[in-house]
């Protein structure tokens, strides 16, 4: 009897191990597939985050390109941008003041943040941002010609 019991026990053990292996194999395949999916999704999320960062930078760089004289737009004055504007245009503080209709001292005070320009002066400064050196020289010549005639 003990041989039959031992034989049944070993057969039951063998069959149960076989069933467990089959179930484990399918679970292992599913687990591997899930891991691959997760890796692909992580890569996709990383790519999307890079794209969002790139688009944010592009949007941040595109904001200053809006025209300064758009109707209804309030102009801001940033003092540290005035001297580079003058340098780009190749004019002195006196000439810049002449273009805007203010004194050399007013331009100096704006650059050193001791004063800020009025709204009408801001519009003239914004207008000068879109002008090149040749146009500035032509305007200065016209202004100095008018001053010589008067």
pLDDT at 1: 65
Confidence (pTM): 0.50
CA 122, 123, 129 angle in degrees (round to 5)?
Answer: 90
Residue range 28-45: mean pLDDT, rounded: 96
Q: What sign for the dihedral angle of Cα 77, 83, 86, 92?
A: positive
Q: Which tens digits make up the pLDDT trace of 108-125?
A: 999 998 998 998 899 999
DSSP state of 130: T
pLDDT at 73: 67
| Sequence-separated contacts (24+) of 71-77 with Cβ below 8 Å | 75/119, 75/122, 75/123, 75/126, 77/110, 77/116, 77/117, 77/122, 77/125
pLDDT at 40: 97
pLDDT at 70: 52
Using CA atoms in the order 131, 134, 136, 138, what is the torsion angle rounded to 10 degrees?
-130
């Amino acid at each position: 009897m003990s041989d039959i019991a031992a034989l049944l026990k070993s057969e039951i053990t063998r069959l149960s191990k076989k069933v467990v292996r089959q179930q484990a194999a399918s679970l292992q395949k599913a687990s591997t597939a899930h891991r691959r999916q997760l890796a692909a999704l992580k890569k996709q999320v990383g790519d999307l985050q890079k794209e969002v960062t790139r688009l944010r930078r592009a949007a941040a760089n595109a904001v200053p390109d809006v025209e300064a004289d758009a109707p209804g737009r309030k102009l801001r004055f940033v003092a540290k941008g005035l001297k580079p504007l003058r340098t780009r245009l190749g004019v002195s503080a006196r000439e810049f003041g002449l273009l805007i209709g203010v004194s050399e001292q007013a331009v100096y005070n704006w650059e050193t943040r001791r004063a800020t320009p009025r709204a009408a002066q801001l519009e003239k400064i914004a207008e000068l941002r879109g002008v090149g050196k040749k146009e500035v020289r032509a305007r200065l010549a016209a202004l100095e010609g008018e001053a010589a005639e008067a």
